Amino acid sequence: MTFTSPKNSQSSSKERQTISLSIDENLISLRGLSPTRLRFEIEYGLERGTTANSFLFSADNNSLKNTNYPAVLVHPPGSTFKDVFLDALRDSLVPKCDELWIVIGHINPNRIDMLRSLAKIYPNIKLICSVPGEKLLKELWSLEKPSSLDENKVKKTIPPLPKIQTIKKQEVLSIGHEYKLQLIPAPTPRWPGGLLAFEKTLGLLMSDKFFAAHVCTKNWEEANRSSTEEDRRYYYDCLMAPMANQVDKLVEKLEELDIRTIAPGHGPAIEGSWRSLLNDYRRWDENQQNYSIKVALLFASAYGNTAAIADALANGIRKTGIQVESLNCEFTPANELLKAIQESDAYLIGSPTLGGHAPTPIVSALGVLIAEGNKEKPVGIFGSYGWSGEALELLESKLSDSGFKFGFEPIKIKFSPNSAMVKKLEETGTIFGRSLIKEQKNSERRTSGGISASRSNPTVLALGRIVGSLCILTARKNNENEILTGAMVASWVSQASFSPPGISIAVAKDRAVESLLHRGDNFTLNILANGKQHELMKKFLKPFPPGADRFSGITIQTSPSAQPILPEALAWLEGSVQERMECGDHWLIYAEIRYGKVLDSDRVTAVHHRRTGATY
């Protein structure tokens, strides 16, 4: 059965619906579907919609009308799906449901809003959560987001906080019909109240935020491993990479379970290839921990907005091959905070402004950073606010007065970032990461007397004799009333297929345009003419400030899919990305060519000759 949002729902919620997927005789998945991007956070950047997967034991399957077992709801969605989810839940529960247990995988203001609605409808609910989850429930239950406190609005009536059962360590609950629900605390900096649920008889791991992918699909499971591989990797890079240590320990613990299916909170379930996915997570975690430069990211986030800023900055830094260690100051022990500060090469600290102040845990972390941090290492500050921004002013003044140098201008965003701001934050993180790498290389060069071994290596010199066409790749993407653009000089380009006509392009992971080159994205490849390439290259080789328009002051034309064409080019090709393959510090992109044209038939292609294979 399907439940669709009413036409007068706000935003794009009219496109959202909840469907019921039968998993077992007495178990269904209530899947919320959103075909469009749910929010502007970086994790939704591929714009393939998403699902919100919850699981209901003792659903209405005719045999349950007279049972005395409590219904158990695992991982309810946030308030975004509230209207369509509540209708679906009512239809699926026993008509007179006397008791409803709710297992909460992670807690944020959106989940709190949904739980309040459930508490009004079902007075006898019990909330089951981890120890940090209980703390968050009590802190957030009576609060409202700043944006909702409009003077013209009537303040909502908030029901009393329901009874809470706290899971301190792994615990198994018997929930009727021979189901055994093993609850596993899974705290991380991003989701300190994390709690996973494993149904032992079915081998079903309801993993909530872990192993997820933002893909809108009605199918219970993925078609095959490759069908969601890019989406799951992108999700990992955006959210899991800064927590690689904690994620790796959790994956090691989960490998001890008799898993048959992983059902995450977003995207399709993984049945045939779940072990491969666990192995990928461990491999990706190991890669993160092997980076030679490390940034400590300290933050607190009352409503999730500051955390969203942190995610975008961390993703941009990570693209340069630098490890980011995320630490939620509200839940990080003092010894771990101190250790991270002492071992890091740079520091980021982010805070919301609550009641005109920074949260107490951030003030404490700031004190540790000032006392124990190395003032020769760069620092960056960021945060969100509702009506004021005193917390950022405090961070800036205290760090400046203590002699710290800032790696970028303080970032202060009202409420949550939009898509253009998310891209700007990513680019800010990338520029910050590049500056750290440059400093490391300068230090190594000073130590070695200025001799670069790689540049004199005969193999590297031979590699440099491979030549390539000089091109400028340009991309443009419409995103919820925002236009995102990107461009880069490219010479690692080759024709890859005849039928269909296709090309391959190597794109460095830290290129700003990389985020616009995922499967399904379009771009143009502007092939430069020999003798006319210098002005265009000068324009596009210069550093751009974060968020800058790459085409400012340039006359452009557009391809059939509205991609930028440079009229001064020799020729252009419009491509559509079909595949991406990770190749060390680059992504190898294969694109099918849909359109193209030679603009100057009297000239030949500009070619890039290199002295060494160690640089472009």
Pairing between β-strand 71-74 and β-strand 50-57 as defined by DSSP bridges: antiparallel
* DSSP codes joined into one string, 247-272: HHHHHHHHTTS--SEEEESSS-BB-T
Q: Is the pLDDT of residue 556 over 90?
A: yes
Tokens of 137: 């429930």
Predicted confidence band at 70 (pLDDT cuts at 50, 70, 90)? Answer: confident
Any idea what DSSP says for residue 375? T
Token output for 417: 């970032």
Q: Are residues 518 and 389 in the same domain?
A: no
Of 310, 206, 188, 327, nearest to 265 by C-alpha is 206
> Of 403, 435, 467, which residue sits at a domain end?
435
Residue that finishes a domain, picked among 265, 287, 309: 287
CA–CA gap between residue 573 and residue 587 (Å, rounded): 20
Secondary structure (3-state) at 452: coil
Residues 277 and 136 in one domain: yes
Is residue 151 in some structural domain? no
Q: Angle formed by the axes of helices 334-343 and 360-372, to 10°? A: 40
CATH code for position 548: 2.30.110.10
What's the chain's average pLDDT? 91
- Boundaries of domain holding 359: 291-435
Task: Residue 377: give its domain's CATH number.
Answer: 3.40.50.360
The answer to whether residue 175 sits within a structural domain is: yes
Domain match, 88 and 226 both:
yes
In terms of Cα–Cα distance, which of 247, 306, 612 is closest to 459?
612
If phi > 0 it is left, if psi is from -120 to 50 it is alpha, else beta; for residue 501 that is beta
Q: Which of 287, 315, 334 is at the close of a domain?
A: 287
* Structure confidence at residue 497 as a pLDDT band (50, 70, 90): very high
Distance CA 111, CA 104 (A): 9
Q: How far apart are CA 609 and CA 616, in angstroms?
A: 9
Question: Which residues, other chains included, contact 390 with Cβ-Cβ below 8 Å and sequence gap of 6+?
Answer: 353, 356, 357, 358
Asked if residue 388 has pLDDT above 60, the reply is yes
The per-residue pLDDT for 201 is 96
| 88 in Cβ contact with 53 (< 8 Å) | no
Q: Which two tokens stand for residue 576?
A: 């559509």
As a whole number, mean pLDDT of residues 608-616 equals: 91
Give me the sign of the Cα torsion angle 362, 365, 370, 374. Answer: negative
Distance between CA atoms of residues 32 and 19, nearest Å: 7
Report d(CA 193, CA 208) in Å as an integer.
11
HEC profile of 557-604: EECCCCCEECCCCCEEEEEEEEEEEEECCEEEEEEEEEEEEECCCCCC
Residues 176 and 133 placed together within one structural domain of the fold: yes
Residues 463 and 431 placed together within one structural domain of the fold: no
* Domain count for the chain: 3
* Closest to 243 measured CA to CA, from 183, 365, 331: 331
Which two three-digit tokens encode residue 66?
């007279």
Evaluate whether residue 447 is within a structural domain: no
Number of other residues whose CB lies within 10 A of the CB of residue 517: 23
Q: What is the DSSP string of 215-255?
A: ---SSSB-SSGGGSHHHHHHHIIIIIGGGHHHHHHHHHHHT
Summarize pLDDT for 220-265 with one digit per residue, the tens: 999 998 999 999 999 999 999 999 999 999 999 999 999 999 999 9
Q: What is the CA radius of gyration of the chain?
A: 26
What gap in Å lies between CA 349 and CA 327, rounded to an integer?
10
**Cβ atoms of residues 549 and 541 within 8 Å:** no
In a domain, 445, yes or no: no
Question: Distance between CA 193 and CA 128 in Å, rounded?
Answer: 11
Residue 5 pLDDT greater than 80, yes or no: no
Mean pLDDT of 273-277: 95
Question: Cα–Cα distance between 306 and 304 in angstroms, integer?
Answer: 6
Give the whole-angstrom CA distance, residue 398 versus residue 391.
11
* Average pLDDT estimate for 464-493: 92
Could you tell me if 269 and 261 are in contact, meaning their C-beta atoms sit under 8 angstroms apart? yes
Provide the CB-side half-sphere exposure for 402 (13 A, CA). Answer: 22
Q: Give the Cα separation of 350 and 392 in Å (integer).
A: 8
Q: Are residues 406 and 337 in the same domain?
A: yes
Q: Which of 422, 518, 516, 528 is nearest to 476 (CA)?
A: 516
Lowest mean per-residue pLDDT among 57-61, 137-141, 313-317, 318-322: 57-61
CATH number at residue 207: 3.60.15.10
Tens digit of each residue's pLDDT (9 = 90 or more) over 153-187? 556 789 999 999 999 999 999 998 889 999 999 99
Same domain membership, residue 335 and residue 258: no
In order, the DSSP letters of 107-149 are --HHHHHHHHHHHHH-TTEEEEEEHHHHHHHHHHTT---GGG-
54 and 191 housed in the same domain:
yes
- Structural domain includes residue 195: yes
Q: How far apart are CA 45 and CA 479, in angstroms?
A: 9
Q: What is the mean pLDDT of residues 371-398?
A: 94
Which pair of structure tokens corresponds to residue 281? 């997570």
Q: 575, 591 in Cβ contact below 8 A? A: yes
Q: What integer pLDDT is reported at residue 455 of this predicted model? A: 66
Least reliable range by pLDDT among 265-269, 447-451, 453-457, 504-508:
447-451
Task: Tell me whether residue 615 is in a domain.
Answer: no
Return the pLDDT at 65: 44
pLDDT per residue as tens digits for the range 561-594: 999 999 999 999 999 999 999 999 999 999 999 9
Question: What pLDDT score was predicted for residue 321?
Answer: 95
Rounded to 10 deg, the angle between the 82-92 and 109-121 helix axes is: 40
86 in any annotated domain: yes
CB 112 within 8 A of CB 76: no
Residue 191, CA distances (Å) to 104, 116, 166, 424, 454 in order: 11, 20, 16, 25, 42
> Is 150 a member of any domain?
no
How is residue 258 written in tokens?
């008799």
Q: Is the pLDDT of residue 202 over 50?
A: yes
Peptide bond into 500 cis (omega under 30): yes
Q: What is the pLDDT of residue 11?
A: 38
- What is the distance, to the nearest Å, from the Cα of residue 507 to the centroid of all Cα atoms in its chain? 20
Do 383 and 414 sit in the same domain of this protein?
yes
- For the chain, what's the residue count? 616
* pLDDT over threshold 80, residue 66: no
Cα distance between residue 74 and residue 106, in whole Å: 11
Q: For residue 153, what pLDDT is reported?
A: 55
252 & 380 share domain? no
Taken in order 509, 514, 518, 524, the sign of the CA dihedral is: negative
User: Rounded to an integer, what distance in angstroms lies between the CA atom of residue 51 and that of residue 104?
Assistant: 17
| 279 shares its domain with 298 | no
Does residue 282 sit in the same domain as residue 226?
A: yes
CA atoms in the 13 A half-sphere facing the CB of 24: 15
pLDDT for residue 519 is more than 90: yes
CB atoms under 10 Å from CB of 295, counted, come to 29
